[in-house]
Amino acid sequence: MSAKPYARYIGVLGLLAVIALVIVSVLHQSGSVAGIAPGHMLAPFAVPLALSSLEGDANVATRAHQGTAGNVPACSVRGPRVLNVCQLYERGPVVLALFVDSGSCASILREMQALVRPFPGVRFAAVAIAGKRAKLRRVLRARRITLPVGIDKDGALASLYKVFSCPQVDFAYPGGVVQSKAVLGEPSQATLRARVSALLAAARARGWRGPGA
């Protein structure tokens, strides 16, 4: 075995070990509750879009001068190269997938992409936790993914969003309040469509008026 494949193998094992440690830490801190609980706000974050030229760690600050979390509040970090969850929920209901770009769980992108047109008022987005940006870009281009996909290279969102599985899909009302429990694992297209339909109906029942309302 050559040195290069061996190094790649060690790198993959290292990434998996980091993810496992994060999950164990989250379970210990959260009492084995996956995802942000219904009725609570989505945690603010801003990350570089994977297909952009922007570099940097995730900003998860809730106020100014918060050290490694960020120098300015995450909700204020905006622009064409940024995926900002606050900007998403200001515009409508949000379906947010968190995944690791190595492995089969990136297939959630294809499932979500198929729902973009049927649900024009819903903001679909995803964030890859850790992994290789070059590989993620190849996946996005090969699968013709047009929904916004960010990259969290230091894994800050794994703990913040209590990520229990890959992928994890969160559902939130306009304004950012979580509507229902996160979907864990790889949902079928029918399951995902049903959950998005329920989110949309619940948002309209709360007074939201979007496309087709």
Does residue 24 register a pLDDT over 70?
no
Query: DSSP for the chain?
Result: --HHHHHHHHHHHHHHHHHHHHHHHHHHHHTS--SPPTTSBPPP-EEEBTTSS---PPB--SSSS-GGG-SS-GGG--STTEEEHHHHHTTS-EEEEEE-SSSGGGGHHHHHHTTTTT-TTSEEEEEEESS-HHHHHHHHHHTT--S-EEEETT-HHHHHTT--SSSEEEEE-TTSBEEEEEEES---HHHHHHHHHHHHHHHHHTT---TT-
What is the residue extent of each domain of the chain? 3-205
Model pLDDT, residue 90: 97
Residues pairing with 152 in the sheet: 129
Give the pLDDT confidence of 65-81 residue by residue, as tens digits.
Answer: 999 999 999 999 999 99
- Higher-confidence residue of 10 and 37: namely 37
Model pLDDT, residue 102: 59
What phi, psi does 115 have (nearest 5°)? -100, -5
Residue-averaged pLDDT of the chain: 86
Half-sphere exposure of 23 (CA within 13 A, CB side): 16
Would you give the end-to-end CA distance of the chain in angstroms?
60
CATH fold group of domain 3-205 = Glutaredoxin (3.40.30)
Pairwise CA distance, residues 198 & 171, whole Å: 10
What phi, psi does 22 have (nearest 5°)? -65, -45
pLDDT band of residue 33 (cuts 50, 70, 90) is low
Question: What mean pLDDT comes out for the span 181-188?
Answer: 93
